[in-house]
Amino acid sequence: MTVVIGFEGSANKIGIGIIRDGEVLSNPRRTYITPPGQGFLPSETARHHRAVILTVLQEALEQAGLKPADVDCVAYTKGPGMGAPLVTVALVARTVAQLWGKPLLGVNHCIGHIEMGRLITHADNPTVLYVSGGNTQVIAYSERRYRIFGETIDIAVGNCLDRFARVIKISNDPSPGYNIEQMAKKGSQYVELPYTVKGMDVSFSGILSYIEEAAHKMLESGQCTAEDLCFSLQETLFSMLVEITERAMAHCGSQEVLIVGGVGCNLRLQEMMGVMCKERGAKLFATDERFCIDNGAMIAQAGWEMFRSGHVTELPDSWITQRYRTDEVEVTWRD
């Protein structure tokens, strides 16, 4: 039995999870929440993580019913992500690995999402749509790499939603994206927004600029409601994502789609992707907020796969990389 503990803290979530041979033993998490209209700054986010990380570590061990001696490997998020929070978590993981006398392993955050999705859904070889606050990519596995077929050329879809939430002062508790999703369910009027797909890539900055400028004018004049804007933004963004995912499926001859990342637990996105998959005779795989949103267990699962195939990160190499591409990692644990 191989037991791996995973430390995740690349953005405003701090999570520590423990995996034992495909079984999630524990997965506690804390979220740094700011007032409506505000984002989260790297330094303040790192301060939050420092304040709670040892409590979360204790929770993870207690929930799993394990002692440090039972752990075989310590995995942490190497990147991509925000610099200060990444450094905070990496320092704790390095310290824990040395105190416990365990090997250390730096994990790519995106691959953590993919491996967790594969574990939970049992998807075999899916086309992956990875959508979160910091990343938007369409990915497929080929020849020992997770290849990026399409991605955002500016901001991530989650960042677009979060920044729109700030414009109309939507609460950040539990997350702006979740609150937009709930408001969108009450929207009925579709407001036309820019739709920007460029081959296999997407662009969201133009949509954001347009809606940021138009939102208050439209709301004040009574042209539409805030719920209508949430509905329209979701429909436009998600249509673009479905389009590039379908294009990648056609290119790869794939009959499976796996949605991962924080935005992946949006039920409207899952519904729209499900319609496309049904029309193609394909299968859709998705998870709920326990595993879609950043969590420690996903780092533990990717670490488990990597550790079992011979990967270890030596202490002098255990830095962080804010821009750590998904396709930089050699995937030695798949065929």
pLDDT (tens digit, 9 = 90+) per residue, 32-74?
999 999 999 999 999 999 999 999 999 999 999 999 999 999 9
**What are the structure tokens assigned to 139, written together?**
């990915």
Within this chain, do residues 148 and 22 fall inside the same structural domain, yes or no? no
- Residues present in the chain in total: 335
pLDDT in tens, 154-194: 999 999 999 999 999 999 999 999 999 999 999 999 999 99
- Per-residue pLDDT, averaged over 109-119, amounts to 98
Look at residue 152 and tell me if it is in a domain. yes
Do 135 and 279 belong together in one domain?
Answer: yes
Give kind and range of the element (H or E) at residue 322: none
Binding residue per annotation — 210? no
Number of domains in the chain: 2
- pLDDT reading at 335 higher than 90: no
Has 206 been labeled as part of a binding site?
A: no
Provide the whole-model pTM. Answer: 0.96
pLDDT digits (tens, 9 = 90+) for 265-288: 999 999 999 999 999 999 999 999
φ, ψ dihedrals at 64, nearest 5°: -80, -15
Tell me the per-residue pLDDT of 215-231, one tens digit each, with 9 for 90 and over: 999 999 999 999 999 99
E strands, 35-143, in order: 73-79, 104-108, 127-131, 136-142
Quick check: is 50 in a domain?
yes
CATH label of the domain that carries residue 46: 3.30.420.40
Between strands 29-31 and 23-26, the pairing is: unpaired
Q: Is 309 annotated as a binding residue?
A: no
Alpha-carbon torsion angle 85, 64, 122, 271, nearest 10 = -60
Do 169 and 268 fall into the same domain? yes
Same-domain status, 12 and 41: yes
Is 59 labelled a binding residue?
no
pLDDT at 34: 96
- Do 282 and 155 lie in one domain? The reply is yes
Residue 26's DSSP bridge partners are 18
Q: Is 187 annotated as a binding residue?
A: no
Give the ranges where the chain is alpha helix by DSSP (H): 42-64, 83-100, 109-121, 157-167, 176-184, 205-221, 226-252, 267-280, 289-292, 296-308
109 is in an annotated binding site: yes
- Do 161 and 238 sit in the same domain of this protein? yes
Asked if residues 114 and 147 have their Cβ atoms less than 8 Å apart, the reply is no
Mean model confidence pLDDT for the chain: 97
Task: Say if 328 falls within a structural domain.
Answer: no
The residue segments making up the domain with residue 178 are 123-286
What is the pLDDT at residue 179?
98
132 is in an annotated binding site: yes
Judge whether 185 lies within some domain.
Answer: yes
| CA dihedral over 305, 310, 315, 317, signed as positive or negative | negative
Asked if pLDDT for residue 259 goes beyond 90, the answer is yes
Hey, is 103 helix, strand or coil? coil
